[in-house]
Chain A
Amino acid sequence: MKADFKTKNKKNESDFLYRKSWDEFLESLKNFFGKKLNIFSFSLVMLLIFIAIFAPLLSPHQFDQVNPLNALAPPSLEHFMGTDTTGRDIFSRVLHGTTTSLSLALTTIIFGLVTGVTLGAISGYFVGIVDEIIMRIVDVFMSIPGVILALAMVAILGPSPIYLVLALSIRRIIQFARVTRGVVLSIKELDYISACHALGMSHIRIVFLHILPNCIGPIIVLSTVLIGNVILMESTLSFLGLGIQEPTPSWGTMIAKGNEFLTFAPWVSVSPGIFLFLTMIAFNLLGDGVRDHLDPKDKVST
């Protein structure tokens, strides 16, 4: 009887807490979308995601349909952005490039997030030799510029999409690990964690259920800020011929191709660049908005 009362009470309490946090969440969303700039950037990002998902339906031509007779045609009603050296429709390729860029960036961020948060949590929770080793390795990787690091990884692994994700995510892993470690270090000395220990909870349970939820804010901020960064880096690598390879459509590769015909066919380079630019604006604005919303203190951009 007594036990029954206890569980019932516990359920009510958690229900109440759940409601409360849900209300807070809704309130916070309302605040976030109270700003026009946030609505703008969010809609732009949603539009890009829509394009990325439905690119095959939206594009007027097949992205790999070659037509040598119509090579380097200027923009027209049939080809909004003209055609490239082999007569492929640039508009369709740009739309498909959205899919490439966004899916690659998302995979990179998710991989970096999971690995980085785990490493950071281990490092911060078990201070000592493990922490020391992880942080020294992090220092070394931080002291090599991001693009150079990614280039080196591509040189080792070769330019296939999976390896590209690996190459791009090394830096992200480190960034996520650092943020998580910082939060874990500051949280684990608090009284309620001692209480958890006293209740005999396992380390894993304490870390995942009682410490890591505190990192959600900083991690959301970091992820949104980093997506633009990853997209830019991927297109830079592709531009240098070490990222996405033909015939997969990628903005960076397309811009690089157009470099040779800049004088008489500028549309080959300019059009994919406009999309890349808009994507960067969308994610940067969204990242700024999210950061100002969740973490108003830290205004330093990465």
Chain B
Amino acid sequence: MFLKILLRRLITFLPTVLGIATFAFILGHATPGDPAYAALGVDLEGYSGVDPEEVERVRKELGLDKPILVQYFNWIWNALQGDFGRSYVNDYVVMDAVIEALPNTLYLLGFTMLTAIIVGVSIGMISAIYQGTIGDLIARLISIIGVSTPVFWFALILILVFAYTLDWFPIGGVVEEFGPKALVLPVASIALHPAALIARMTRSSMLEVLSHDMIRTATSKGLFRKRIFFVHALRNAINPVVTVIGFQTGNLVGGAVAIEVIFTIRGMGELLITAIHDKDILVMQCAILVIGVSFAVINLLVDMIYLLIDPRIRL
């Protein structure tokens, strides 16, 4: 049964990936500017200093003279083999840059998600258990503030307070340079938003579960409060939380872009932004494809986890 659902989900996964690839390809071709000129190091089309024959030669070399459909299939075929060509602007192999950047982003997002889950679930639990007290009010206040704080601004405030004034953490976010301490501020900045949402979600689903009959039964059986909260209630309350985590990965990627730029972390977001500013089409295409596909994979994984922890939705 589980395998069948997995298979069905995988079948819808493939067209999505193809769609993302198509989008990335169209993106490269719709971006203003002629790649042949860019490859020659000339930004402006129609710049008189370039030999037209030279441009033709480069165009042929890059396969830009072929019909668009041929170019499309060539691009897809090369992409399948992990070959995205050399950057026109900075002359490096595109795939190398991505291989260097992707782990940085994944580390950043992984630690962020972990922090967000731990902090969010704890705050949500506290505010559900002490519902209606001052602790609950504070927890709810934190979560509404967390949801409303712009990531990039919060990061600057953190830098101002903890890096410049208190000098506890470095300003850059590169682990090789500053050690693991460098990750604290970037992770804290991105984690705020998902932690707040998870807290909110945990609170409301905990409150719902706590009103169920089974909790009353557990209480009347004389079980300890702790056991009731952490084993019986939390287990049932965690499902909507997983959904929120799935929703949030997209927002996280968005937040990560700004954070990578602020903390000069060489990740996918920073790569993409630099490529857009430089009009570096190949890098742009590759970055969009890799980000899109990773995001789709993460969503697939979240769906699978959801299936595993909640047998009720196995339709």
A241 within 8 A of B: yes
The answer on a CB contact under 8 Å between A155 and B16 is no
The answer on a CB contact under 8 Å between A155 and B253 is no
Tell which of B148, B164, B201, B292 touches A263, judged by Cβ atoms closer than 8 Å: B164
- The minimal Cβ–Cβ distance linking B116 to chain A, given in whole angstroms, is 14
The answer on a CB contact under 8 Å between B153 and A140 is no
The answer on a CB contact under 8 Å between A148 and B288 is yes
Report Cα–Cα, A241/B284, bound state, in Å.
Answer: 16
A284 within 8 A of B: yes
The answer on a CB contact under 8 Å between B257 and A148 is yes
B interface majority secondary structure: helix
Report Cα–Cα, A38/B208, bound state, in Å.
Answer: 23
Of all chain A residues, the one with the shortest Cβ separation from B299 is: A143
A206 within 8 A of B: no
The answer on a CB contact under 8 Å between A151 and B145 is no
The answer on a CB contact under 8 Å between B197 and A301 is yes
Tell which of B152, B249, B284 touches A155, judged by Cβ atoms closer than 8 Å: B284
- B153 to chain A: which residues have CB within 8 Å? 255, 269, 273, 276-277
Interface size class of B (residues with CB under 8 A): 35 or more
Tell which of A228, A236, A277, A284 touches B258, judged by Cβ atoms closer than 8 Å: A236
- The minimal Cβ–Cβ distance linking B31 to chain A, given in whole angstroms, is 5
A31 within 8 A of B: no
> If the complex has contacts A266-B160, A285-B144, are A152 and B288 also in contact, measured as CB distance less than 8 A?
yes
Count of A residues near B, CB < 8 Å? 46
The answer on a CB contact under 8 Å between A281 and B145 is yes
- B145 to chain A: which residues have CB within 8 Å? 281
Tell which of A158, A239, A273, A280 touches B32, judged by Cβ atoms closer than 8 Å: A158
Report Cα–Cα, A276/B247, bound state, in Å.
Answer: 23
Residues of B within 8 A of A (CB): 12, 15-16, 19-20, 22-23, 27, 30-32, 144-145, 147-153, 156-157, 159-160, 164, 197, 200-201, 204, 240, 243-244, 247, 249-251, 253-255, 257-258, 261-262, 272-273, 276-277, 279, 284, 288, 291-292, 295-296, 299
Listed A/B pairs (29) with beta-carbon separation below 8 Å:
A139-B15, A139-B16, A140-B16, A140-B19, A143-B292, A145-B249, A146-B250, A147-B253, A147-B254, A147-B257, A151-B273, A152-B288, A155-B276, A156-B30, A158-B32, A232-B150, A236-B150, A239-B258, A240-B257, A240-B261, A252-B152, A255-B153, A262-B156, A269-B153, A270-B156, A273-B156, A273-B157, A280-B147, A300-B243
Instruction: Identify 18 new A-B residue pairs, CB closer than 8 A, beyond the known A145-B291, A146-B251, A155-B284.
Output: A136-B15, A139-B16, A140-B20, A143-B20, A144-B20, A144-B291, A146-B250, A147-B255, A148-B288, A151-B257, A151-B272, A151-B273, A155-B276, A235-B150, A240-B273, A262-B156, A280-B149, A284-B144
Residues of A within 8 A of B (CB): 136-137, 139-141, 143-148, 151-152, 154-156, 158, 228, 232-233, 235-236, 239-242, 252, 255, 258-259, 262-263, 266, 269-270, 273, 276-277, 280-281, 284-285, 299-302
